[in-house]
Amino acid sequence: MKNYLISCIVFFHLLIVSVRSDVLNDSCSQAAKGDPNINFDFCVSSLQVDPKAKSATSVADLVDVAIDTAMSNATSIGSIISKLLSNKSLEQYARTCLEDCSELYSDAGSNLKSGEQAFEGKDYGTANSEISAAMDAADTCEEQFKEKEGVVSPLTKENGDFFQLTAISLAFINMVQKR
Ligand SMILES: *[C@@H]1O[C@H](CO)[C@@H](O)[C@H](O)[C@H]1NC(C)=O
Ligand SMILES: *[C@@H]1O[C@H](CO)[C@@H](O)[C@H](O)[C@H]1NC(C)=O
Ligand SMILES: *[C@@H]1O[C@H](CO)[C@@H](O)[C@H](O)[C@H]1NC(C)=O
């Protein structure tokens, strides 16, 4: 009897754990199918780092995980930009671009915060527009470097990752709205 009980507990525990981790897989899979900018492996590997992703029981829980991941990305990108700006021999055009990117990412962080609050208040329209505004930072930052010949963006990977994290946040919000 005792062994049977333990087996039952272990079985249900495993069942719950596997159902939970499926939420991330299923949500990332659906997001990747609906948006060519989203890569399934990137989605799973970047979000599973957050312990909240493992305990997520619905895609709504994952919205917070995605926005939080994007927010910490914006902060890290800000530090990378500061480091690049400390280079004294940086060319003026590149410096101006980086200063602009720094401001864009600082604003993006605020947009994400407002977006997360709006989502928690079920104001999906505001959540959408705030996160879309944050997403634009990545594109705007990347595009400026292309406007002058011979200048190469030092932030291509960072802009691409951040863009994708905001795209994932938007896709998840869209999935919550459709339920
Ligand atoms: C999630 O997807 C990956 C890749 O398709 C797979 O290897 C893994 O077993 C899946 N995890 C769960 C819990 O379904
Ligand atoms: C942004 O997030 C992605 C996915 O988690 C990660 O691979 C990348 O290193 C992060 N970028 C920075 C600058 O922290
Ligand atoms: C500083 O900027 C110059 C000019 O763009 C570049 O050649 C050099 O590699 C940079 N130094 C560092 C440490 O990034």
Q: Would you give the distance in Å from CA 7 to the centre of its chain? A: 39
pLDDT of residue 1: 55
* CB environment 14-23: b (16+ within 10 A), e (fewer): eeeeeeebeb
Indicate whether 31 pLDDT > 70: yes
Indicate whether 14 pLDDT > 90: no
Residues 6+ apart with CB under 8 A from 60: 176
Top pLDDT among 12 and 65 is at 65
Tokens of 108: 């993006």
Question: Is 160:42 a contact under the CB 8 Å cutoff?
Answer: no
Residue nearest ligand 3's atom 2 by CA: 90
Ligand 1 atom closest to the CA of 21, numbered from 1 = 13
Tokens of 32: 């990747």
Top pLDDT among 18 and 81 is at 81
pLDDT of residue 8: 45
Would you say the pTM of this structure is higher than 0.95?
no
Q: Which residues line ligand 3 (CB under 6 A)?
A: 87, 89-91
How much distance in Å is there from the Cα of 120 to the middle of ligand 2? 24
What is the residue extent of each domain of the chain?
2-178
Residue nearest ligand 3's atom 4 by CA: 90
How much distance in Å is there from the Cα of 26 to the middle of ligand 2? 22
How much distance in Å is there from the Cα of 26 to the middle of ligand 1? 9
pLDDT of residue 179: 73
Burial class (CB in 10 A: 0-12, 13-18, 19+), 151: middle
pLDDT of residue 71: 98
Summarize pLDDT for 55-64 with one digit per residue, the tens: 899 999 999 9
**Nearest C-alpha neighbor of 159 from the set 173, 143, 146:** 143
pLDDT of residue 20: 47
**Residues 86-99, mean pLDDT to the nearest whole number:** 96
Average pLDDT, the chain: 91
Spell out the CATH class of 2-178. mainly alpha
Confidence of residue 2 (pLDDT cuts 50, 70, 90): low
Place of tokens 């249900």: 12
As a whole number of angstroms, the distance between CA 149 and CA 163 comes to: 24
Summarize pLDDT for 108-126 with one digit per residue, the tens: 999 999 999 999 999 999 9
Residues 6+ apart with CB under 8 A from 34: 171, 174
Indicate whether 139 pLDDT > 60: yes
**Structure-derived torsion over alpha carbons of residues 159, 135, 166, 117, reported in degrees to the nearest 10:** 130
Indicate whether 137 pLDDT > 50: yes
Question: Is 66:165 a contact under the CB 8 Å cutoff?
Answer: yes
